[in-house]
Amino acid sequence: MTDDQLLRYSRHILLDEIGIEGQERLLAAHAVIVGAGGLGSPAALYLGAAGVGRITVIDDDTVDLTNLQRQIAHTTDRVGSPKAESIRSAVHAINPEVEVVALRRRADAALLDTLLPGASVVLDCSDNYRTRHLVNAACVRHRVPLVAAAALRFDGQLMVIDPRDATAPCYACVFPPDASFEEEQCATMGVFAPLVGTMGTLQAAEALKLMAKCGQPATHRLMMFDIKRMDWSGMQIGKLADCPVCSNHL
């Protein structure tokens, strides 16, 4: 590391659990963020500030005025700009040495199959059920850790999936891919602004732990947060023997 890097990342380096070796792992890591909205904004900012060497942001949407209530990486003067490029500008304003690849695309299987072989971790910051399952399946195929979160109204959830652990459940073990339900989104149901910031920040924390190899990743658990009551709850989750996604990747 350079002298500037030693100074910039000194507060992480001072942590025995990270140190110079952990920070060097972050500098060499590649994080893929799917979704550049309320969850992706704080996640990208914290990963960039922490010095993750390469961050790929995937989102096909543009910044809208209604986004600015909660999507903190975007600004009023970037309304109408692609969200992925807006996040790249926001990260570079904090840490210009991080490589940020902005892809104005919808995540699909072909794109993920191209990106994931070189990825250290994936953060699912999307806002729909189909994309979550698509990302989960790709991470299982390529054995890349996944940090998934969701937020709606006053409720959030977080799950860490590590396909490298043969005993760890995947997203499909908990939420069946063929489940039929009415999709609810922020655009119609609303969301409390600090909730997405909280959940996106926690995604960054879990991703950094995985990349730096520090702490205990939150696998085998589904964590739920009711910010209205400031109440955390969680449940232990197990791998389904007949999971349609991960049972063949033991």
- In this structure, the strands spanning 121-124 and 146-152 are parallel
- Distance, in Å, from the CA atom of 159 to the CA atom of 166, rounded to the nearest integer, reads 16
Q: Among 139, 170, 173, 186, which one carries the catalytic annotation? A: 186
Question: Which residues are CB-contacts of 7 (< 8 A; sequence separation ≥ 6)?
Answer: none
186 is catalytic: yes
- Distance, in Å, from the CA atom of 116 to the CA atom of 140, rounded to the nearest integer, reads 10
Task: Give catalytic residue positions.
Answer: 186
